[in-house]
Amino acid sequence: MLAATPSVIVKQGEAMPATAIILAAGLGTRMKSALPKTLHKIAGRSMLRHLLSSCESVFDRIVVVLGPDMDSVRKEAAPHVCVVQHERLGTAHAALQAVAHFGDGDVAILYADNPLIRTETLRAVLRRDAPLGLLAFRPADAARYGRVVTDGGFVERIVEWADASTDERAIGLCAAGVMCASAADMTRWLRAVKADNAKGEYYLTDTVALARAEGARVVAVEAPADEVAGVNSRVELAAAEAVLQGWLRTAAMDAGVTMIDPGSVFLSADTAFEPDVTIEPNVIFGAGVSVARGAVIRAHSHLEGCSVGPDCIVGPFARLRPGTVLGHGVHIGNFVEVKASVLSAGVKASHLTYLGDASVGEDTNIGAGTITCNYDGVFKHRTTIGARAFIGSDVALVAPVTVGDDASIAAGSVITEDVAPGALALARGRQVQKPGRATEIRAALRAKKKGAG
């Protein structure tokens, strides 16, 4: 997790600290899930963590407002301060639960189900030229978003969809939810909000009318719709995933990564590439993957929690699981799975192999069908293979076991004891041949079949 980065906002000639209040108390009933809404993931990272990451680059204090019995959300928000909204009486009421943490500078109130707001957008609303600023956007379908009513370029009020007239519902400018003001102003306006609306709730958006009643100007900072569209359902979660994947793919290609079919490649928020990486179609990157310069990830491969070294070739149809480290020029072929293993430079495992809890030395060749038998039903055990070893096809290495440098293992062997450096190990039954016996058996079977007919 990124550490919170101190930030100050310059306003009227003096440096002011900035505080973010993130509202995360909603039940998210439209998600139809036992998991709190803000913990649903986009590109391998929770919605809350996405927003926290952006806020950590802008604000010097972050406070998360939770509902009761939301310990999992509290854990995700760590190390930031959390407060509890014991009664869900609306967004203004939720923000008031954090008033003791507002401080003396600017306060921005955000929603945890707006996970894709970028740091540049947050800074823009903090740089507003008015006592109250808010984020607004123009979605293709305004749906049930609150409408922003303006006059002469300034915001007059926000009207919730449920309370809006037909004319107001025709307005295309919608409220994104983010509000920003000085701590003193925000506190005063929040405390003045009334629950005189269709839902009987305390709306954060009512602070606009309260500010205007005092003669204070309110400005709307327009943000791209993709950044501020809310996520309240599985459909909207998928839409946010598509947006973020597009951003991640573009960023990777701008940094020197070749994607043959970008739309079929799925990245995690923390996927790290060096330049001159090539990714073929239908590749999935889980969390915690780094890929070094010159590597090629071939089609239909799945990687998570692993490090791919320079000039490696992975796939097609390969799986790299957590704890895998590939050295320079390693080749992992089709239908090869590697887990919690370190493969040194030049290792080749070209097909139909499982390497789990293993260390493999430089320039070793792993034959087709090789498996490390690492689990005894209770404990995991490690296999160590030296440099320049040759492991024949269809070999089972029963861990814990060590194969020395320059050793060879004959095809079809089951290795249960250590193999010395330079030795040839054979562990299979001796072949027995009975001339003519196969012909006799087939003839007897055919006769039996004919008699049965």
Active site residues: 351
Cα distances (Å, whole numbers) of residue 272 to 214, 252, 268, 288: 50, 8, 9, 8
How many Cα atoms within 13 Å fall on the side-chain side of residue 178? 36
d(CA 239, CA 401) in angstroms, rounded, equals: 49
Written as six digits, the tokens of 406 are 């320059």
Written as six digits, the tokens of 158 are 């926000």
d(CA 160, CA 150) in angstroms, rounded, equals: 14
Written as six digits, the tokens of 197 are 């609306």
d(CA 310, CA 296) in angstroms, rounded, equals: 9
Strand partners, 238: none
3-state secondary structure of 389: coil
Nearest to 342 by CA among 371, 322, 370: 322
Q: Give first-to-last CA distance, the chain, whole Å.
A: 73
Supply the angle between the helices 47-56 and 119-126 in degrees, to the nearest 10.
60
d(CA 21, CA 201) in angstroms, rounded, equals: 19
d(CA 307, CA 272) in angstroms, rounded, equals: 10
Written as six digits, the tokens of 286 are 């889980």
